[in-house]
Amino acid sequence: MFPERLRALRHGKHITLEVLANDLNEMYKPDAEHANTASQIGNWERGVRSPSYQEVRKLAEYFDVSMDYLCGRASLNEYDLSKLFLSGKQLVFAQKILSSDDRYELFQLMDGYFHGKNRRKVSEPETDQQEELDLNWSKHNPRRD
């Protein structure tokens, strides 16, 4: 599964093996002995060789997907929010950058909600489908033109 997903992600960005190798080397600045090469990545895509954990992590960050997605353990439209809040990625909400304190507080609120939800009596049966959430955004945030 990994080779197919890596190839699909690279083709989706319309980049060559050489460009991907150069981008990874630019992002992570390895020493010459550990630099990524087009040949190495081509071997990963063909399933001839398997990348190390570190290389899979770099690829996941580069393509902005989870390692689980790259390895075939999750679908692309699935992402664990707890991992996102705890990651080093910059998070923005309503055009405001979340500080590390904001991220921690939001994580705690969500975690508490789900722990409490397990203890509450649910009157409606739960479904596997995600419900649409109407936040009445326009009502609470009128445009200021």
What CATH number is associated with residue 11? 1.10.260.40
Query: Tokens at residue 76, please?
Result: 């692309």
State how far the Cα of 41 lies from the Cα of 49, in Å rounded to an integer.
9
The residues, ordered by sequence, that sit 6+ positions from 37 with a Cβ below 8 Å of its Cβ are: 21
Tell me whether residue 135 is in a domain. no
66 and 84 in a common domain: no
Dump pLDDT digits (tens) for 21-70: 999 999 988 888 889 999 999 999 999 999 999 999 999 999 988 888 88
**Could you tell me the residue range of the domain that residue 14 belongs to?**
2-70
pLDDT at 86: 72
91 and 48 in a common domain: no
Query: Does the pLDDT value for residue 124 go beyond 60?
Result: no
Say what percent of the chain tops pLDDT 90: 38
Tell me whether residue 140 is in a domain. no
31 and 12 in a common domain: yes
Evaluate if pTM is beyond 0.75. no
Confidence of residue 138 (pLDDT cuts 50, 70, 90): low
56 and 87 in a common domain: no
**H-helix or E-strand spanning residue 93:** strand 92-93
Query: Does the pLDDT value for residue 113 go beyond 50?
Result: yes
88 and 33 in a common domain: no
54 and 31 in a common domain: yes
Query: Does the pLDDT value for residue 89 go beyond 90?
Result: no
Number of domains comprising the chain:
2
Tell me whether residue 132 is in a domain. no
Tell me whether residue 10 is in a domain. yes
Query: Tokens at residue 3, please?
Result: 């080779």
Confidence of residue 75 (pLDDT cuts 50, 70, 90): low
